[in-house]
Structure 1
Amino acid sequence: MRTETKFVKRFLKLIFPQLGTAEKGVKLIKLSVRTYKTTKRIREARMKLAYKVGIGSVGMFVFIILFGWIAFPKILSNKIKSMCTLKEGTDIREMYLKVPFPLVFKVYMFNVTNPVEVTAGAIPIVQEVGPFVYDEWKEKVHIEEDESEDTMTYTIKNTFIFNRELTKPLTGNELVTIPHPLLAALAMAVERDKPSALSLVNKALNSIYRGPTTPFLTASVQDILFDGVYILCNVSDFAGKAVCAQLKMEATDLVEVEPNIFRFSIFGPKNGTLGQRVKVKRGVKNSHDLGKVVEFEGQTELEIWGSEECNTYQGTDTTIFPPFLTKEEGLVSFAPDLCRVLAAYYVDDTKYAGLPVRRYSADFGDPSSNPEDQCYCQAPDKCLKKGVFDLYNCIKAPLIASLPHFYLSDPSYVNGVKGLNPNAKDHEITILFESMTGSPVAAKKRMQFSLPVHALAKVNVMKNLADTVIPLFWVEEGVELNSTWTKQLNDQLFKVLKITKIMKYLILVMSMGGMGAAVYLHYSRKKEVTITPVRSTETSNGETNRSNVISMLGQNKALGGHVNHAMSANEIDKY
């Protein structure tokens, strides 16, 4: 045993003379073997890690694409659609039936400063007075539902309460002069329908109004709007009695305070009383039908306009809209007070209290040039110019609706009156709309009412009038959701959407990074240096193969040592 050990040591000392000792050669061989095995284990571990990272990252990528961009939007959409219905028990239904806060209702009067001159043929000069502010409480009562049709029928009820604080320094007692809503309007209506009766009307007006000198009324704003101005029908002449009887039978905005003595006001008869009856879709079966008008005053379509298209109800009742409307669809609604459809068009995207919203606006179009608006004309050859709308067929009064100060209307209307200053900031219709839930978060609906006049030869106080349109007043119905409502919408919807968006992009980036790491781990193996271990192979009788020994000698030289040229393979056999 000792002889063999000595032999190995002497043999190694001859092969590795630069190492000094045989023990160092043994250690080198063992180190080479361990290095090989370690390298192999690392290589196998890297391969397994690459596969694991790759498979996990691909799975994560597929999951986030399917869930984050396909499944989650559908889940959210279905959830919102189920919430945005008029089905009993939903929050939207409660708010729809009774708005829990008042809308701000502003009225601006046009005071005619030169009524005597206008009576003689001069151009009217007007002065805007206002705003007179009222709290408008909206409610829908006498509810009936039909689940098979998925409809709800209700009666409109609006209540106005004078807001003194917001009206200051005005009080409502200010005197203004406007074209007389009954005297002048009655004459213009008769001239339109029965011109042969103008002589009778002239006599009746002289009797009822005790010989007026102008077709204008001077009264307080509060009387004109709500309290009422007197109409004295306690007359004895035939003409006066005939006209009063007709007024009593047809006029719905007259209040009899004493026998044959009436009060007339613009909004008084509508304040706190029952209005029109409307049937709408509840949106339970089809969310896109939410709020859609299907009947108005018991009729499935109107019968007052010149075409089926204009007589067909389209859109909602203006107080609610379906979720997920596109920009191209606009905000289409049927306005009961106008007996027509109005479509608000998309303007741009903006923010309201941190919420992403769309801005919409609307106008009255141009019946003189747009074929779609011509069905609202009195006759095909009697269309009004751009920006105004004839209300006669709807309310049986010769009034014209437009935007305030004739904004976006034909210049002839602005030029026909002095004192107007149309501008977008004060006079356009604006709606800020959250499209995902179909919620108007802020709106300013503005509209002006005017009386078209011209000379009537058979009516004494109107025979010299210039041909023009005199504005009476304009209103703004405004609403702005406060922080209580916007915070609720933000917390329940948009914060969830924001967190979800961040998470899905974070997971997407992580999964793509993982796939990149897996590819790197896989291909980096090709750049590794393989260390070949020093192995001794033995023959069947235990002898060492001489070629391996010689190979070791060559490797030893490559390692910086030297070959013992004094020994040959035959000399090794001596040992």
Structure 2
Amino acid sequence: MGLYKQYFRLTRFAKNRFIGVNPQKTGQDGVPLQMLVSQNFSHSRLAVILIGIFTLALGIILSSIPWLDYIILKNLRLRDGSLSFHYWQKPGVIRLTKVYIFNVTNPERFLQLGEKPKLQEIGPFVYREEMEKVNVQFHDNGTVSFQHKKILQFVPELSVNKHQKIVVPNIPLLTLSTQSNNLGFFVQKAISVMLSMSTFQPFISLTADELVFGYDDKLVNLAHQFYPKYKRPGEKMGLLINRNGTLPEVHNIFTGETGMHEFGYLNHLNGADTLPYWSEPPCNNLRSSEGSFFPPRFYTGSDIVYLYDKDICRIFPMKYRRGVSKHGISADLYTPTEDIFETVDKNPDNKCYCPGNEYCTPKGLQNISPCQFDAPVYLSFPHFLDADPALSEPFEGLKADREKHESYFKIQSKLGVPLEGQIRVQLNLKVDQAPYVTVVKNFPSIIFPIMWIEEGIDDLSPAIRRWVYLATTFADVASPLMTYGFIFLGTCIILGVFVNAYKSLVFTKETIEIGMKKLHRRSSAYLYNSSSRFLNRRDTYTLLKLNDDPDGDGDGDGDV
């Protein structure tokens, strides 16, 4: 029995050492076996359990809230010094403007014989646009004001020769003759005499660079001197002449601090909350993006976004078509709405674009004369895409191609960042025949294409693309992995501690049972050996005792 107690103490001591309890320090060697389980959770093991519980709770909390969206939106909102502000102020993207000019190959036969004008598309003439936001000022109402600074540089390696001569309609002359129809007969005759005394012709030969960025014209110089200031054109005639340098328009947009539903949209333009070119809504509505950011569709749920560009002279509605992908980043594809240049009969909202509510354009045209110093310039899609066939029928050489001529934007749905986009529009001159102006009397009433422009971005800079990828594609994978990883890790830690404690307890019991079996076997062997030794000793003792009988009678009494 003493041996059993001694073994039990030794075995319990070994178990205590196994689970990290030192009986010499705790003085608890006499604690019953069932209480050893509680000792297993003390100190380091208890700390491990708390870590497991914390990790599990963290995973559960993160799985129930859009925690990553909060981080992304915090960095997406425009703040001074934020990541998005850095990319917004000076994007570093390659923005290209491509110009295609319609060369008239038969101007004399068109005027004298009434042939259809034969148009030859020449281009592209490519200009790289370096853009920066300057005079940036944040406001307490969640908006920021700024001006655009743009520099256009010709890219010869992507262009045709910009010095080749191109024959185009004489825009200042035809503008004057068209507007003279609103004047009296004698005024028209006076204009006719004045023009006849000079060398004005209905068509002129220019280089692409002159047409785009300006050339000296006598009529433009006169208009610059005598027109009212708000209608006064520049000193030179050029279709894109006012695109270089710091632009005068002051934009004020929403930064996202007050919500994402108007993120990137214009709040004011030059201090006004409506467009100055049109007198009534919806034509003078201003809520639109200047192209840097759009309200993310992921938050707004809207299928329509609006774009503003001064050259378009209106907001440009674009409709969601389908999901696309670029460089592994998901995006939404937007193209212009079907009724953007629709007739007033089918889209009454376009009524306010009719000048004086008199002349309303056919399908496919947009009046932009208020943005062009009242010159009768009209906008359409290139080659009269989606326009009334009557507009393209008078010409040879026009062939609309949706893939080449349709405007589009690819916008990341969570960030509202455009990954790619092109605005493609055509500038046309509306000519009204002026029979009393001799030099142009043979020029018929017609909507004459001058050129079409493609401007936008083909790709983001590597730094911006990396940021967008991490905030969307990578985050969509990393967020659930991290969230459920915490839950899995916390569960494994807690289960591991309990399983380890259970194994320790079972191992100790099994050790005791094995030890007791060995003890019983050793006890039996000891008793057997002891009994054998006792019998042997007894036999030996008896024999010795018989041999020592002196009288030999076997009674051991020593009789004589």
TM-score (norm 2): 0.70
Structure 1 CA distance for aligned equivalents of residues 252 and 158 of structure 2: 35
**Contact in 2 for aligned 1:99/1:137 (Cα 8 Å):** no
Structure 1 CA distance for aligned equivalents of residues 184 and 377 of structure 2: 17
Unpaired runs of 5+ in structure 1?
1-58, 234-239, 256-262, 512-575
Structure 1 CA distance for aligned equivalents of residues 449 and 277 of structure 2: 25
Instruction: Give, in angstroms, the shift of residue 279 of structure 1.
Output: 1.8
2:209 matched residue in structure 1: 222
Alpha carbons of structure 1 residues 219 and 242: separation in structure 2 relative to 1, 3 Å: closer
Unpaired runs of 5+ in structure 2?
1-53, 491-560
1:317 matched residue in structure 2: 290
CA offsets per residue over residues 405-443 of structure 1, 9 Å max, x none? 111111111212211110111000011110101110011
Aligned positions of 1:169-208 closer than 5 A: 170-191=160-181, 197-207=187-197
Alpha carbons of structure 1 residues 398 and 441: separation in structure 2 relative to 1, 3 Å: same
Aligned positions of 1:83-162 closer than 5 A: 83-120=75-112, 121-147=114-140, 149-162=141-154
Does 1:358 find its partner at 2:345? no
Alpha carbons of structure 1 residues 190 and 86: separation in structure 2 relative to 1, 3 Å: farther
**Contact in 1 for aligned 2:224/2:233 (Cα 8 Å):** no
- Indicate the RMSD between aligned Cα atoms, in angstroms: 3.4
**Contact in 2 for aligned 1:306/1:375 (Cα 8 Å):** yes
**Contact in 2 for aligned 1:151/1:281 (Cα 8 Å):** yes
**Contact in 2 for aligned 1:185/1:397 (Cα 8 Å):** yes
**Contact in 2 for aligned 1:248/1:254 (Cα 8 Å):** no
SS at match of 1:152: strand
Alpha carbons of structure 1 residues 333 and 268: separation in structure 2 relative to 1, 3 Å: closer
Alpha carbons of structure 1 residues 419 and 313: separation in structure 2 relative to 1, 3 Å: same
Alpha carbons of structure 1 residues 422 and 196: separation in structure 2 relative to 1, 3 Å: farther
389, 395, 400: which one aligns with 1:411: 389
Structure 2 CA distance for aligned equivalents of residues 320 and 438 of structure 1: 6
SS at match of 1:160: strand
SS at match of 2:206: strand
Does 1:287 find its partner at 2:260? yes
Alpha carbons of structure 1 residues 349 and 216: separation in structure 2 relative to 1, 3 Å: same
**Contact in 2 for aligned 1:142/1:154 (Cα 8 Å):** yes
Structure 1 CA distance for aligned equivalents of residues 476 and 281 of structure 2: 43
Does 1:305 find its partner at 2:281? no
1:41 matched residue in structure 2: none
**Contact in 2 for aligned 1:325/1:438 (Cα 8 Å):** no
**Contact in 1 for aligned 2:409/2:418 (Cα 8 Å):** yes
Alpha carbons of structure 1 residues 319 and 358: separation in structure 2 relative to 1, 3 Å: same
Alpha carbons of structure 1 residues 196 and 489: separation in structure 2 relative to 1, 3 Å: farther
**Contact in 1 for aligned 2:77/2:256 (Cα 8 Å):** yes
Instruction: Give, in angstroms, the shift of residue 474 of structure 1.
Output: 0.8
1:345 matched residue in structure 2: 319
1:211 matched residue in structure 2: 199
Structure 1 CA distance for aligned equivalents of residues 107 and 342 of structure 2: 31
Instruction: Give, in angstroms, the shift of residue 453 of structure 1.
Output: 1.7
Identical positions, percent: 24
Residue-pair matches, total? 435
Structure 1 CA distance for aligned equivalents of residues 183 and 411 of structure 2: 42
1:246 matched residue in structure 2: 226
Instruction: Give, in angstroms, the shift of residue 67 of structure 1.
Output: 4.0
Alpha carbons of structure 1 residues 82 and 287: separation in structure 2 relative to 1, 3 Å: farther
Alpha carbons of structure 1 residues 454 and 294: separation in structure 2 relative to 1, 3 Å: same
**Contact in 1 for aligned 2:261/2:300 (Cα 8 Å):** no
Structure 2 CA distance for aligned equivalents of residues 293 and 335 of structure 1: 11
Structure 1 CA distance for aligned equivalents of residues 365 and 60 of structure 2: 52
